[in-house]
Amino acid sequence: MSPPADGTPLLRRRGILLPFQARRSVAWTFTLPPGAGALRLGLTFSPPTVDRVRNLLTLTLFDPAGFRGAGHRHAPRQEVLVAPDRATPGFVPGPLSPGPWTVELDCHCVLPSDSGGVEYELEVDSLPALPDSAEALVPSQPAAPLSGAVAGAAPRWLRGDLHLHSTHSDGRWSVEEIVDYARMRRLDFLAVTEHNTSSALPELRAAAARAAPPLVVVPGIELTTFWGHANALGVPGWVDWRVAPPVGFRRESGDDSLILDDPAASLPETGTMAAAAAAVHEQGGTFVVNHPRSIGYPDCTGCRWEFGDDSAGYADLLEVWNGPWRRQNVEGLALWDAWLNAGRRLPACAGSDGHLRPQRWDTVGLTCVFAVPEPGAILAAARAGASYLTSGPVLLLRDPAPGARLPADADAVSLTVADLPGPATR
């Protein structure tokens, strides 16, 4: 990759990552001079795949005040542009404050190859302005009002999707297309939970406010750690996803030093997954363990939950229905059952995990809650278990009332099932 002719180089790094360096992050600090009109990041790596399994290196950016975006994509050639009024999806437009910035290389998957691992090249440039060729940038959005309940609205059954991805991370459909899909499915609420970035939220709120009737937007971000994925719902900003390995994790020998031959590189500090959950709770958010029995490394780094049964103590919800019903959901349901039998009354939830418009939208799970149409009330109902999961059919509880606790001596529940596809058995 080569910078534009009028760019000022700020950082140049190249090297090779070895397989034992997978599932860790490497950071470099650079100084952005005053007067920059745009910032450009460039990353290339090779090989993109080994035996049909993809290597995965991604970029995260921090300015002097904090988080400025993340690009969770598999492309072996990535270019990121950040300007005051526009930015590459996944990154946040805003002032380009002079001073120390940090770019992080997140090494989700590093496979052995003929060269020993993954060769990479990283470039950072200051530009006087965005290049004329800049495409697919997302403009900054005016502040959109939070969609919420009408004053005096009574609780009712609401259905929504709590797990979606757009082009702000590795999704292949836009925020507008997601909102159109939600209206087609007659959803009342949705959460676009991008991998390690909250950049989609302003665009989502604006698009949802234009929908008729408006959609309730539940803020969210998927904490895509190297050992498990978790949704932080109800938290509008970035949450630090960089956590230490679970107890018992062992790397291959040689992991005590980072073989980059680069004294300027540093390893970001990490906490625990329990601490990440606590940070979500401190902001009034809801912590969801996602697709706990998905396939894991290297086919899907972090997709399988590796933190053990103690995570039932700090999670609020367990996603037992991810996408269409499949084997990983059967195993996730068994995990939920085991946690319930161990005394942890953790409610279940569902989400499409949609990265593009589902071809069989009637097979993916939705979460239905009994609440007023407001983000906090929706999440409170989900945490309380005033909910059920469905791919479309509707359950109307009559006795006990929706949201009520079933008495210990109850021997029957009265309900009505509607919208069943035919043929079906009631």
> Residue 132: which pLDDT band, with cuts at 50, 70 and 90?
confident
Here the CATH number for the domain that contains residue 63 is 2.60.120.380
Here the CATH number for the domain that contains residue 194 is 3.20.20.140
Mean pLDDT of the chain: 90
> Residue 64: which pLDDT band, with cuts at 50, 70 and 90?
very high
Q: Which residue has the higher pLDDT, 138 or 146?
A: 138
Residue 255, pLDDT score: 53
Q: Which residue has the higher pLDDT, 272 or 151?
A: 272
Q: Distance between CA 310 and CA 296 in Å, rounded?
A: 19
134 within a domain of the structure (yes/no): no
Residue 211, pLDDT score: 86
**Residue 168 vs residues 38, 212, 326: alpha-carbon distances, Å:** 19, 24, 27
> Residue 426: which pLDDT band, with cuts at 50, 70 and 90?
low
pLDDT in tens, 338-394: 999 999 989 999 999 999 988 787 889 999 999 999 999 999 999 999 999 999 888
> Residue 75: which pLDDT band, with cuts at 50, 70 and 90?
very high
Residue 403 has pLDDT above 80, yes or no: no
Q: Which residue has the higher pLDDT, 257 or 314?
A: 314
Is residue 160 located within the same domain as residue 115? no
Range of lowest pLDDT (189-198, 291-300, 402-411): 402-411
Is residue 232 located within the same domain as residue 284? yes
Is residue 121 located within the same domain as residue 162? no
Q: What is the mean pLDDT of residues 175-191?
A: 95
Is residue 124 located within the same domain as residue 184? no
Residue 399, pLDDT score: 67
Residue 232, pLDDT score: 98
Top mean pLDDT of 11-15, 144-148, 396-400, 418-422 is at: 11-15
Q: How many residues does the chain have?
A: 426
Three-state secondary structure call for residue 413? coil
User: 194-195 and 220-225 as β-strands: parallel, antiparallel, unpaired?
Assistant: parallel
Is residue 212 located within the same domain as residue 307? yes
Residue 138 has pLDDT above 80, yes or no: yes
Q: Distance between CA 392 and CA 365 in Å, rounded?
A: 8
Q: Which domain holds residue 215?
A: 156-243+264-404
One-letter identity of residue 330? V
Is residue 87 located within the same domain as residue 206? no
> Residue 2: which pLDDT band, with cuts at 50, 70 and 90?
low
Q: What is the mean pLDDT of residues 213-236?
A: 96
Is residue 362 located within the same domain as residue 290? yes
Dihedral (C-alpha) 302, 305, 307, 313: value to the nearest 10 degrees?
130
Is residue 168 located within the same domain as residue 92? no
Give Cβ neighbours of residue 180 (< 8 Å, ≥ 6 apart).
none
Residue 142 has pLDDT above 80, yes or no: no
Q: What is the mean pLDDT of residues 309-318?
A: 96
415 within a domain of the structure (yes/no): no
379 within a domain of the structure (yes/no): yes
Q: Under the phi-then-psi rule, with left for phi > 0, alpha for psi from -120 to 50, and beta for the rest, what region is 234?
A: left
319 within a domain of the structure (yes/no): yes
Q: Domain tally for the chain?
A: 2
Tell me if 7 sits within 8 A of 40, measured CB to CB: yes
**Residue 108 vs residues 59, 66, 70: alpha-carbon distances, Å:** 11, 22, 13
Residue 421: φ, ψ to 5°: -75, 150
253 within a domain of the structure (yes/no): no
Residue 425, pLDDT score: 64
* Sign of the torsion angle spanned by Cα atoms 245, 250, 251, 256: positive
> Residue 267: which pLDDT band, with cuts at 50, 70 and 90?
confident
pLDDT in tens, 145-172: 665 555 568 899 999 999 999 999 999 9
Is residue 70 located within the same domain as residue 203? no
36 within a domain of the structure (yes/no): yes
248 within a domain of the structure (yes/no): no
151 within a domain of the structure (yes/no): no
Residue 82 has pLDDT above 80, yes or no: yes
DSSP conformation letters of 69-133: EEE----SEEEEEE-SSEE-TTB------SEEEEEEEEEEE----TTSSEEEEEEEEEESS--TT
